[in-house]
Copies of this chain bind each other. A is one copy, B any other.
Amino acid sequence: MPTAEFDDVLAALDAGRRSRRTVMSTSADRAARQVREEVVEGRLRSGTRLPEERLAAAIGVSRNTLREALSQLVAERILVREPNRGVVVATPGPDDIRDLYAVRIVVEPGALEHGPGLTDARLAALRAAVDEGRAALANDDLDGVASANQHFHRAVVAVARSPRLDALMDLLLAEMRLVFHSMGDPGAFHTPYLEDNARICDLLEAGDRDAAARHLAGYLSRARDHLLGAASGRG
């Protein structure tokens, strides 16, 4: 009896079952993911209404199931529910931008300064995000720059080694993408901050976490004002 092999297979199957369960999850989650994707990718623009019946048919789930998905996205502030009128893609205003940056200015520098997970691997991830952004810029790939920027900030928060903060940051970044889309993001918005990211990397590699955190806080409030100016100009 090759018990060892057999137990391995058993464990593998169990892992497969578990992951399939959490990956596939319920169809409500899948529907939520699909709609979220459409929104953050900008294919569903701010203010567009999402009629339940048609959307449910399009995704291929029941209206009840879709409602569960929509409720979740409303909780994430990606959609807004107007009672008796349905859900629409949120249109973040100046207050939202201020609030988003208020959270980021508390969370991101805090993670850099006090996070217990500033390992070599995570430093490398930060540096990689910077390189990714530079490479994208060299290719005139503005979407790539924006994407790399998100990777950078996600990596910043990862230093806190907190699943809850990671999840929070994902929500914030999704909302940020909505902000950019809702103001017809040229995508060029992020390029000036690439060098700030690089500087933060330098400071961290030099071991000066306080300075890195301060630089990040300052750069975030600069970016907020930059964004607010652009929003009032266009929005």
Which residues of A are at the interface with B, using a C-beta cutoff of 8 A? Answer: 21, 25-26, 28, 64, 67-68, 71-72, 75, 83, 99-100, 102-103, 105-107, 109-111, 114-116, 160-165, 168, 217
Contacts and interface: CB of A to CB of B under 8 A. Distances in A.
A25 to B, nearest CB: 7
Contact of A21 (B26, B83, B100, B114): B83
Contacts of A115: 106
A230 to B, nearest CB: 21
A161 B102 contact: yes
A160 B168 CA distance: 17
Nearest to A95: B163
A116 B64 CA distance: 43
Contacts of A217: 114
- Top 6 A-B pairs ranked by shortest CB distance? A106-B110, A102-B162, A110-B110, A21-B83, A64-B64, A103-B164
Name the prevailing secondary structure of the A interface residues.
helix
A163 B96 CA distance: 9
A217 B110 CA distance: 11
Copies of this chain, tallied across the complex = 2
A164 B95 CA distance: 11
Of residues A106, A115, A161, which shows the largest number of chain B Cβ atoms within 10 Å of its Cβ? A106
Nearest to A70: B68
A219 B98 CA distance: 30
Contact of A71 (B28, B83, B165): B28
A106 B160 contact: yes
Given A75-B75, A83-B26, A168-B168, A114 B103 contact: no
A162 B107 contact: no
A79 to B, nearest CB: 14
Given A26-B83, A110-B106, A99 B68 contact: no
